[in-house]
Structure 1
Amino acid sequence: MISKHTSDLVKERADITEVVGDYVQLKKKGQNLWACCPFHGEKTPSFSISPAKQIYKCFGCGKAGDPIQFIMDIEGIGFQEAIRHLAGKYGIEVEEDEKLTPEQNQEQNERESLFIALNFAKDFFVKNLNTEEGKSIGLSYFKERGFTPQIIQKFDLGYALDGWDNLLKEAKSSGFQEDILLKAGLVLQKEGDPSRLYDRFRNRVTFTIHNISGKPIAFGARILTKDKNQPKYINSPETPVYHKSDVLYGIFQAKKAIRDQDNCYLVEGYTDVVSMHLSGIENVVASSGTSLTEGQIKLIKRFTNHVTVLYDGDSAGIKASLRGIDLLLEGGLNVKAVVFPDGEDPDSYSRKVGSQAFQDYLEANSRDFIGFKIGLYQDEIAKDPIRRAEIIREVVQSIGKIPDPIIRSVYTKEASGLLQIEEEILFAELNKSLLKGQKDRFQKAQEEKEAEERIEELIPIQPQAISLDEVLEIQEKELVRLLINYGLEKLGEEDFLLSQYLLEETQEVDFKTPIFKKILFEYRSKLAKGEIPSIEYFIGHSDPEVKKVIIDLVTPRHEVSTHWHERFQIFINRESDDLSATAFKSILRLKRRLIHKMLEEAKNKIKLGEEAGEDSDKIFELQQVFFELKKVQLEIDKELGIVIG
């Protein structure tokens, strides 16, 4: 296991802005940074990063934590792996304290073992380029394409030797178990004899597929011979660490450039990506020959809202792949397209014309998706009126995929000019398309609702009003929020802390919510030792539930802009302006809820006593308790300004 010293160093060095910034595009708003959440689909940013507190919080899905927790969430790994990841990022040497048992090792480190095996395979393929076979076949192929040693190293390009078990033998001699090699997709089982294993990649050049943090997670391999019985490319299968629908080739090498350029070039193949890097264009990724997926679109959107799709000079192929543009539009991305001359692709054309001419071509021929799509069908529009009407509807349907109404309107006007048709007709058709989409979604929602109702008929669920215990939990949460956020603040001019006031006033109050009770107990214990626990103390707490609750309590959803005061001289009251009144009212509200609960309990006792025919003196005593509680409630109501109690 990783030593505490290493964990502490990582916690000190890891910066939340740098860590999250490797995965999403951040924008400053007020004191915090904001982004669209990488954990759930959203169009309006609700993911907040606080550099001052070194925490993140999504107000949409509720994810929250520190830099280590973010890596655990985004990579789907455990604490130990997250520490190793960040240690690598910040150049911290990892120290280990003790070894895990074989059972713990298998349970906790299988995923890490897969990463290690895949990294071993990557190194093996790369080293093969220096063998006689690798030089004569693999390296010569890369050199023919103009790949420099720097580019080969940057993308971890390699070569799989000709033979059935070169990798298998090397891996086993290095201590790797066969089941890990199988799960990593590096070897296959022979049909009819599962005990016989052989290499998946043989006699091919290899392209390493990295995840967003740079770890090898899969491989693509190209055959160099003209064997019609073999596919041109073979790829790694789905594994616990590789889900191809969520991965883009080249994203690790491209993410910084995409963010800097605020644009992402989208191509089809591995060599297209590598060749564009050779031409000085680094903000490029590939879908690796698969149809574009929602997961891949979300991955692009983490870094930019602008995509330029590069198409080979093949009209039929372009028309067949136009659905990808609609998916990009639906994902909220602004789409442009570039078409290369007939018979050319990004790889061949960049090698043909050179770096500068290639960059100039991209800039000069980049068209928004409307002009691009209409241009594709220009000949058909001119020759066939019926086909023209069909294409107009297709264009309108594409515009209808755009979630932003203003951008939809702009593109509709542009399409009107290009198609030489009245705007009113296009807007009417667009509204019909949008209405149909809404009806379809409504119909689907109704069907889902009816299905749920049918299930509820089998298992009736009785809706319940909010209970007194739930209301009490809200008040307990509010008091703990004040304690954590303002516990170190002084009340008035006296040398009396808000934490002391709150804890004294709640000394005899028994909190009902376990997590708030735990936080309050720990706060009291620290205070009894002469220590005042800070926000940072609780954010770094060993209990994940405590940490998550504290982050929720200290992260505000909205900030008041400084411009209200600086520019317009408008003053906004804040709860921190008068903490004495804020704390006093919070205590009163909590006690009011407790009194309310006690009143209900007293009322029930009186009712049960009367029904059981208890002694009148006992009933009278219970009534006196009820009336005294009612008096206290009325006094609290008066202080809080509640007219009807």
Structure 2
Amino acid sequence: MAGRIRDEDVQRVRDALPIDVVVGDYVQLTNGGGGQLKGVCPFHDEKSASFYVSPSKGVFHCFGCQESGDTITFLQKIEHFSFAEAVERMAAQANITLRYEEGGYNSRGQQGERTRLVEAHKVAAAYYREQLEGAEAEIGRAFLAERGFDAAAAALFGVGYAPAGWEHLVRYLRGKGFTDREILQGGLASQGQRGGLIDRFRGRLVWPIRDVAGEVVGFGARRLREDDNGPKYLNTPETPIYKKSHVLYGIDLAKKEIAKSGRAVVVEGYTDVMACHLAGVTTAVATCGTAFAEDHIKIIRRLLMDTSAYRGETVFTFDGDAAGQKAALRAFEDDQKFAARTSIAISPGGMDPCELRLAQGEEAVRELIAHPVPLFEFALRTTVARHRVDAAEGRAAALEEAAPIVAKIKDPSIRHEYAVQLAGLLGILDEQFVVRRVSQISRWQREAPQQGRGQQRGQAARQQPAPQPAAAPRLNPHDRASSAERELLKLALQRAEVVNPYFDQFGEDEFTTPQYAAVRRAVGKAGGTVYGQGVPGFLGLVNEAAENDQVRMVIAELTVEPLRHKLVDEHYAGQILVAVRLQAVDRRLAEVHSHLQRIASRSTAEELTPVQQELYALQQYKESLKTRGAAGL
């Protein structure tokens, strides 16, 4: 066992790092009066600043959740450190060498587990950075150059290169004194088929992912070569120091400016963060291989001092395509978790910040972020645009879909403004009709939870057990409409080799059930069937890529459920592939037919031609699938 850190060294560490400096890495602190500082508590969700820090006393206390302690306690609670790990973190920051009771100065064997893993990542980041300068990494340097990033930009963000061999990093870390257990536990390597360790990242451009305190806790790696069958982006798996829902790429560089400016910019990828920072938008961050979620909101809220009294702004940027719009609407669902204003910036050409900087220069990136659209307005316009508001039926349908969006707004005055704006978007002259409809839905939304609580209280009074929350609707494995989709996903998970490579060419929209589409998405993120065939840990990668436990449950079902035929070969797989594709083609044919009927009477021949051509192409493709089978895919 490691010896106990000497008491005098613990005190030296406390004295070297003031509590407001340590807490300030996680929470924006402002003057709280009487020599105190205050901020949004990082230990519970609150809309008012009840978290106070006393620099003179070296302690913190939250009047909301009653958490309190000193600098070391704070790090233990927020990072889930042991006492020794918290002291070691602070000692490293203060450049203090610790001594242990059982002999000498701190040797690597005496450091806490987390400290060792962080050190391994620090060494790995330096190694990758050095490799970027070698001959093999020319392809990585070319990738960066094509996107407008020179050597100085790569150095600023610590971008590196992982060599293409199987165990270059493993051997290097062993040489630096790290054990195989530490290398594996940190997610820097995986277990090979023959029992040895192999590098997790091979032949890829690598971005170090740092926590809010600036320590490297993981990596994101980008595929560079066509013969790399892995996913386009591969991230560190969940480890004791890396939780993807708890980190934001670039937060270490952006945190001070976010706190200073009261604005955070959320982009979609590593190169977008680089492009924004180099263009002067130094508040940009990105998620790391996962959707923007509640834990990310908490990080930004603490830095924004996001309370009802101190309102900042969070700007989301998404690609202008359909996927980007869906991502933006998902962000809208989280809007009410902010006190800050939330907005969205989408460039006219649908370019992301990296593409925009390359095409139009850094000023264009600054202009994009400087003129965002409120997220509520974007959600309304996107929803209304899905309907034909030139017809009474279309206006009614648009109102029923858009009114609940407006009804969710908590501030009554803002809700009224958007109700009036909705009337204008729909072309409804009677604004008050729309206002009343929104108010009615808002009242229903408020009353529904209260009614539920009232029913539970009544049941408790009758000494009956409280109702359990409804489980997510289960998929019917015998549903004929989606049976081919289910069978295809089972083949992809259980027998990847028989559906490869055709399965990877199927889009998510070819799976009509949302849960099945989510499973298809997870398979893609894990590398697809091309990568999955013959890889023992492929199912683990698919589960890791799944969005939530509900999707993981569906994956588990599909993995253990028997296939419909005992004899499963490429011929049977081809039949299933064709069946799913035919259903998708039939759906598209119906859409095009319907569109053609709607525009036939009011369109010119020139406008009708492309629609007719698509209809003809779809019909030909359908006949090809029927006659040629999988060969026609």
TM above 0.5: yes
Query: 1:368 is matched by which residue type in structure 2?
Result: P
Equivalent residue runs for 1:38-437 within 5 Å: 38-89=42-93, 91-99=94-102, 109-134=112-137, 136-191=138-193, 193=194, 195-227=195-227, 229-304=229-304, 305-315=312-322, 317-319=324-326, 321-363=328-370, 365-376=371-382, 377-378=384-385, 380-421=387-428, 422-437=430-445
**SS, match of residue 346 in structure 2:** strand
Q: Distance in 1 between matches of 2:298 and 2:101?
A: 40
**SS, match of residue 292 in structure 2:** coil
**SS, match of residue 302 in structure 1:** helix
Q: Distance in 2 between matches of 1:456 and 1:39?
A: 35
Contact 1:33 1:49 in 2 (8 A): yes
Query: 1:34 is matched by which residue type in structure 2?
Result: K
Contact 1:291 1:324 in 2 (8 A): no
Contact 2:235 2:288 in 1 (8 A): no
Shift of residue 321 of structure 1? Answer: 4.1
Q: Distance in 1 between matches of 2:220 and 2:436?
A: 47
Q: Distance in 1 between matches of 2:39 and 2:114?
A: 29
Q: Distance in 1 between matches of 2:331 and 2:65?
A: 28
Give the direction of change, closer, same or farther, for the CA distance of 1:234–1:27 in structure 2 (3 Å limit): same
Q: Distance in 1 between matches of 2:40 and 2:155?
A: 33
Shift of residue 318 of structure 1? Answer: 0.8
Give the direction of change, closer, same or farther, for the CA distance of 1:96–1:409 in structure 2 (3 Å limit): farther
Greater Cα offset, 238-247 or 405-414: 405-414
Query: 1:296 is matched by which residue type in structure 2?
Result: H
**SS, match of residue 136 in structure 2:** helix
Segments of structure 2 that go 5 or more residues without pairing to the other structure are 305-311, 467-633
Equivalent residue runs for 1:457-468 within 5 Å: none
Residues 143-177 of structure 1: CA deviation (Å, up to 9, x unaligned): 33222333322322110101111111111222211
Q: Distance in 1 between matches of 2:450 and 2:103?
A: 53
Q: Distance in 2 between matches of 1:449 and 1:36?
A: 33
Give the direction of change, closer, same or farther, for the CA distance of 1:105–1:361 in structure 2 (3 Å limit): closer
**SS, match of residue 317 in structure 1:** helix
Give the direction of change, closer, same or farther, for the CA distance of 1:181–1:444 in structure 2 (3 Å limit): farther
Shift of residue 398 of structure 1? Answer: 3.1
**SS, match of residue 343 in structure 2:** strand
Shift of residue 449 of structure 1? Answer: 6.5
Give the direction of change, closer, same or farther, for the CA distance of 1:17–1:417 in structure 2 (3 Å limit): farther
Give the direction of change, closer, same or farther, for the CA distance of 1:51–1:398 in structure 2 (3 Å limit): farther
**SS, match of residue 221 in structure 1:** strand
**SS, match of residue 60 in structure 2:** strand
Query: 2:405 is matched by which residue type in structure 1?
Result: S
Give the direction of change, closer, same or farther, for the CA distance of 1:51–1:430 in structure 2 (3 Å limit): farther
Give the direction of change, closer, same or farther, for the CA distance of 1:29–1:197 in structure 2 (3 Å limit): closer
Give the direction of change, closer, same or farther, for the CA distance of 1:38–1:407 in structure 2 (3 Å limit): farther
Contact 2:28 2:259 in 1 (8 A): yes
Segments of structure 1 that go 5 or more residues without pairing to the other structure are 459-645
The question of 1:7 aligning with 2:13 is answered no
Give the direction of change, closer, same or farther, for the CA distance of 1:84–1:110 in structure 2 (3 Å limit): closer
Contact 1:330 1:403 in 2 (8 A): no
Give the direction of change, closer, same or farther, for the CA distance of 1:226–1:50 in structure 2 (3 Å limit): same
Shift of residue 126 of structure 1? Answer: 1.0
Query: 1:360 is matched by which residue type in structure 2?
Result: E
Q: Which has the larger radius of gyration?
A: 1
Q: Distance in 1 between matches of 2:464 and 2:109?
A: 42
Shift of residue 424 of structure 1? Answer: 3.6
Contact 2:258 2:283 in 1 (8 A): yes
TM-score norm. by structure 2 comes to 0.65
Shift of residue 274 of structure 1? Answer: 0.9
Residues 69-113 of structure 1: CA deviation (Å, up to 9, x unaligned): 212221221233223333444x44223234589xx9989712222
Q: 1:598 matched to which residue of 2?
A: none
Q: Distance in 1 between matches of 2:245 and 2:140?
A: 28
Q: Distance in 1 between matches of 2:116 and 2:168?
A: 20
Contact 2:131 2:161 in 1 (8 A): yes
Q: Distance in 1 between matches of 2:173 and 2:298?
A: 36
Query: 2:139 is matched by which residue type in structure 1?
Result: I
Contact 1:114 1:184 in 2 (8 A): yes
Shift of residue 244 of structure 1? Answer: 0.9
Residues 279-338 of structure 1: CA deviation (Å, up to 9, x unaligned): 111101112342221111111111124111112121453135412122133343311111
